[in-house]
Amino acid sequence: MQALPPPWPEGAPGTVTALVGPRRRRYPLGVPFRPTEPFVPAPGLASPHAQTIYGSLVRPTHTPPIRRERWDTPDEDFVDLDVLEGPKGAPHVVVLHGLEGSSRAGYVAAVVRGAAERGWGVTAVNFRSCSGELNRTPRFYHSGDTADALTVLRRLRERVDGPLYAVGFSLGASVLCGLLAETGDAAPVDGAVSISCPYDLSVCSPAIDGPGFFAWVYRERFLRKLRRKALEKLERFPDAFDRKRLVAARSLKEFDEVVTAPIHGYRDADDYYRRASSGPRLGAIRRPTLLISSKDDPMVPPPGVPAHAADNRFLSVLVTEKGGHVGFVAGQLHAPRFWAEAQALVYLEQVRAGAHRP
């Protein structure tokens, strides 16, 4: 079994405040994940908004040469993938991006580079209409839409002869956790990492729709992209949803009420939030999975990771005091280091060594 780094003392600067929840003795056959270093925000980036915004702006997007592949889906649509082949028998990591991200997002690129440095293969998934080309059918993607990700993982499971892992960010983490819960013992991956997941959509959506300058910044950034794609969709499918209500939407919930819910078979936004949230289903996960979150995430109000996650021996919970939403920027302003992506790959290395197998 791979040796683990020593635990960091409680109360140390930047210390992780919860590693596997309050019931550590529920992991008698596995090993709680210990990060190789505590998360300490880069100087000047202590606030959650600084972490969130700076992290989204400064993450480099370069990767080793990758190949774009288009895979048809069972409903005659497609998903675009960016693929970096690994050597025969090497681990392969599937990466799922967040709301209105893509395979070119900086946090995805960080995982691609880290995997490539280890000699691993990578497949970065673009959810429908996120690769730069509108998809063919009325549907888009959403936090509970596991079908495309599951299709990709099952096909890769047949194609890759080494361990298969998955890392999800934000919305992609919600999709990943939902997928793992749905498939249970039949999950097509050997290990997974969830970063900044909105485990309860009914509290995360109001956080983004709430008052204040930064909530407005996040909301407008998402809505501007979502509204543009939805209007393009109406050019092809004029009856898909109500154009006037779409144009008038000024909150994520209004967008979900007008677009997300009706075209994906939900009664309304509240029904979507209830049925698509992955948090209530974490107990069904049966693969070693690391849940990384920060207490100050501006889009995921406390408690963030549901308390009952500690009851599942397959889950390791890593909660930091600071970090924002998909931030976790350490190091220095002029030389940032991206802690969550690095720890995700360390965890998967340990899964490969058998350290987190209940």
For the residues of 122-157, what is the DSSP string, one character each? EEEEEPTT-SSS--SSS----TT--HHHHHHHHHHH
Query: Is residue 2 in a domain?
Result: no
Same domain, 113 and 20: yes
Beta-bridge partner residues of 292: 195, 318
Query: Is residue 9 in a domain?
Result: no
- Selecting among 49, 142, 325, 356, the annotated active-site residue is 325
Give tens-digit pLDDT for 123-143.
Answer: 999 999 999 999 999 999 999
CATH of the domain at 336: 3.40.50.1820
Same domain, 48 and 194: yes
Strand pairing of 16-18 and 315-320? antiparallel
Same domain, 194 and 248: no
- Selecting among 294, 297, 316, 356, the annotated active-site residue is 297
Query: Is residue 1 in a domain?
Result: no
Domain count, the chain: 2
- Confirm whether 297 is a catalytic residue: yes
- Selecting among 170, 174, 294, 316, the annotated active-site residue is 170
Same domain, 230 and 86: no
Same domain, 68 and 212: no
Chosen domain end from 243, 260, 276: 276
Chosen domain end from 247, 276, 305: 276
pLDDT of residue 341: 98
pLDDT of residue 31: 60
- Confirm whether 202 is a catalytic residue: no
Query: Is residue 34 in a domain?
Result: yes
- Confirm whether 271 is a catalytic residue: no
Q: What is the DSSP string of 48-74?
A: HHHHHHHHHHHS----S--EEEEEE-T
Distance CA 235, CA 259 (A): 14
pLDDT of residue 6: 36
Same domain, 239 and 331: no
Same domain, 240 and 193: no
Query: Is residue 3 in a domain?
Result: no
Same domain, 193 and 212: no
Same domain, 83 and 138: yes
Strand pairing of 78-84 and 67-72? antiparallel
Same domain, 240 and 324: no
* Counts for the chain of helices (H) and strands (E), in that order: 11, 11
CA gyration radius, the chain: 19
Query: Is residue 347 in a domain?
Result: yes
Q: Flag residues of the chain having pLDDT under 50.
A: 1-30
Same domain, 30 and 162: yes
What angle do helix axes 48-58 and 106-117 make, rounded to 10 degrees?
A: 70
Chosen domain end from 223, 250, 276: 276
pLDDT of residue 91: 98
Query: Is residue 231 in a domain?
Result: yes
Residue 285 and residue 298 in contact, taking contact as beta carbons nearer than 8 Å: no
Q: Which domain holds residue 267?
A: 202-276
pLDDT of residue 355: 78
pLDDT of residue 32: 79
Residue 89 and residue 140 in contact, taking contact as beta carbons nearer than 8 Å: no
Same domain, 20 and 146: yes
Query: Is residue 90 in a domain?
Result: yes
Give tens-digit pLDDT for 245-276.
Answer: 999 999 999 999 999 999 999 999 999 999 99
